[in-house]
Amino acid sequence: MKNGIGELWYGSWKDYKKIKELYDIDVMVSICRFPPYRYYGSVEDTGVYDFRQLGPSAELHKWRKESMGSKKDIRGDTWTEYVGRYQTEIGTRLYNGLADKQYNRIVEWLYYGYDVCLLCTCAMGTPCHRYFLWSNIVRTHKIPLRGSDVKLDFPEHFLDNGKVTDKVWEDWAIDIFANENRIGEENKVMLVCPHVEMSAAYDRLIKSGIFAKDGAFLYLKDTALKLITKGDWER
């Protein structure tokens, strides 16, 4: 738990132990309609809350697999239709009934200062309702853009006492910029961001003066979130 609003992440059920350990997650939440507790243990064993009412129905899940398969690109008409059907199932933005209580509980945790991670069994990088739920909570409740899809393969020397901290993100960002020969290029700094959480590190680095000019912009590349565009970050 931290001061201020917590961070909202999403990840894969199979990585729940590593996610909790690396990111110091306070609350792990399963948003699967059919959660895999029989494979991992009970709610008490895993410490993962069962919010199955926030998952798509068996019928919608089957339609998603048949329509989108394992495609990593979540844009387009198919994704739009899936999101619309998912919204309808759980009650659109009001999330009526039990889904409403589960949704609002997540928001309450965030405003209490807890870091929360939404878990589903879909492979990371494939179309999944956890992304929609994440983006809906962030935008509807104006949660600061900190957190997103978890990253687990940081080199050991980047980790801060085995944890993913703000310092880890800043060191990781500097390393990427250095490898791209971007540090210190006046008037033409292009910051290539492979992960949304890194954007907060970029802001701190820009303010610290590590880049020659303050006319840089952030461009989030190769991320499933599609939530921020280059124009949003132009300075």
Mean pLDDT of the chain: 77
Nearest to 156 by CA among 7, 25, 22: 22
* Distance of alpha carbon 106 from alpha carbon 118, whole angstroms: 9
The answer to whether 204 and 170 have CB atoms below 8 angstroms apart is yes
Structure confidence by residue, pLDDT tens digits, 48-107: 999 998 998 888 888 877 877 655 555 567 778 888 888 888 765 444 567 788 988 999
Phi first, then psi, for residue 60 (nearest 5°) are: -70, -35
pLDDT at 18: 95
Amino acid letter at 163?
K
Band of pLDDT at residue 230, cut at 50, 70 and 90? very low
Mean pLDDT of 169-183: 69
Q: What share of the chain is helix, strand, coil (3-state, %, to 5)?
A: 45, 10, 40
Task: Give the residue from 106, 140, 122 showing the smallest Cα distance to 227.
Answer: 140
The domain locations on the chain are 8-140, 156-226
- DSSP state, residue 187: T
Q: What is the pLDDT of residue 65?
A: 76
Burial of residue 58, with CB atoms counted within 10 A of its CB: 0-12 exposed, 13-18 middle, 19 or more buried: exposed
* Neighbouring residues of 149: CB distance < 8 A, sequence distance ≥ 6: 9, 10, 11, 124, 131, 195, 196, 223, 224, 225
- Mean pLDDT over residues 122-143, rounded? 84
CA dihedral for 116, 90, 67, 35, sign (positive or negative)? positive
Tokens of 130: 């956890």
One-letter amino acid at 26 equals: D
